[in-house]
Chains A and B, each alone.
Chain A
């Protein structure tokens, strides 16, 4: 058996795949990755700076954990309270509001809870709970999951106590959650970016949108070198700076799916 091709492959693989290039590791969320945003803006950043950005896409909670362990140089997530805690705990240098979009409530065309067309997502959730209509939650400590829990709280519903078989806690990313919702003809809360590029909608359609409480802010934080000395501070800072710069903001705004812009740079002036 000729081992040479395999040995060659092994030799190429083992050193860790071309470390010659500058790169940073960014822990981000599945919503940013799967919408296709990074595929659009990262090549622009790399061309301008020569820095390769390696994105590990997880839920917000997991992404922040990665930052805490020092396995990422930058985190880009969407759960303000958790991000502020992250900085307060000394793991992050400073939080910047880099872009925003919104969540929407999707559900089956048949709409058993009768929420279609409303502009009040809290009222819609009350109706869903009252009707015990199937609802799929991410349940994975993601930004979307935390936003959903906040909304239940605002609706005056103790979802942990009141949930019945109608509430499906999948513990998975946005895509798999939507797959499950599609398969069960259930309601779900999703970010617009993932929804627009999601291809397995089945009977699902947008039912409630535009409520101010559905606002979704993304924050970017450089992991602190005081906590993790090996962090690539210079390169990571360059990335953060670029995202907040005019070029970065233009790149984010230029990203469109089906002619629709998915992410809006900066902070929403209307945010709470």
Chain B
């Protein structure tokens, strides 16, 4: 990483840029300033630079981001898939109201979820004894709550569509209730992947919840999105954009992996 002194920096028009040492991003290319279009190109180069040099800070926050979001997706799926299937198959008064509610909760504002979880986990709150505030666990909890409705609502729709096709035959065989829900969940597994990926997308992209319950503590609860927010607020838009590009690439990679797994399973087992 280049360390330019004040004279040379002003000579090339960088007089306003602070010392990079304060940021701790060792793998960055020194920016060249210029027009907004250049900024995007710079950001792209910056992103590649961070990845190519395996910037330690980047790896730290990227790993945490993936771990938190994947944990949340796993937890949320374990709860949401059976819930969605149950609502799809069961008939009870208020079912339609519940479906509307589930669909509406897909739009739950992340910052509101963060606030609620914060109030629960704060020392002054009911679960304060657990000491979970400002830890990755708190972030996983908040994200799980946030994406649970998304996975449940989408699973509900998929399973219900399948139930319409399968209902008579399954009932004829004597399959009802939980057994039917379980059978349908397995049968619609490929479209459920999409529901799960929707949850993953939401979790990886959100900043409001993890910021509030995690505190964006350097080295402990700083993830990609909160790091981007931080760099933006410090005015380092190029770095923020670079991190954004890396985040998008990361999510793209996860989605590609899911697609490949799905395709190969589909081809082998039908």
Contact = CB atoms under 8 A, between A and B. Distances in A.
Touching chains A and B, CB distance < 8 Å: yes
Interface of A: 1, 3, 6-7, 9-10, 12-17, 25, 30, 34-36, 38-40, 54-57, 68-71, 172-176, 178-179, 182, 194, 196-201, 228, 230, 257-259
Interface stretch (B48-56, B164-172, B202-210, B232-240): B232-240
6 contacts: A9-B71, A16-B131, A34-B230, A56-B134, A175-B235, A179-B233
Choose among B217, B230, B236 the residue with the greatest number of A CB atoms under 10 Å from its CB. Answer: B217
A10 B75 contact: yes
A178 B235 contact: yes
Interface in B120-173: 122-124, 128, 131-137, 140
Interface of B: 6, 16-19, 21-24, 66-68, 70-71, 74-75, 122-124, 128, 131-137, 140, 215-218, 220, 230, 232-237, 261, 265
Contacts of B6: 258-259
B134 A14 contact: no
A34 B234 contact: yes
Contact of B235 (A7, A17, A182): A182
Contact of A14 (B19, B123, B140, B236): B140
Nearest to A56: B215
Given A16-B137, A197-B18, A200-B235, 15 more contacts: A7-B74, A10-B70, A10-B74, A13-B68, A25-B134, A56-B216, A69-B122, A69-B124, A174-B233, A196-B18, A199-B16, A199-B236, A200-B237, A257-B19, A257-B22
A15 B137 contact: yes
A13 B234 contact: no
Choose among B74, B137, B220, B236 the residue with the greatest number of A CB atoms under 10 Å from its CB. Answer: B220
A25 B217 CA distance: 9
7 shortest interchain CB distances as A-B pairs:
A36-B22, A175-B233, A200-B235, A70-B123, A56-B215, A69-B124, A197-B18
Nearest to B124: A69
Nearest to A231: B123
Contacts of A36: 21-23
Contacts of A173: 233
A199 B22 contact: no
Contacts of A71: 122-124, 133-134
A10 B135 CA distance: 13
Contacts of A70: 122-124, 128
Contacts of A176: 232-233
Contact of A9 (B70, B234, B265): B70
A197 B137 contact: no
A206 to B, nearest CB: 11
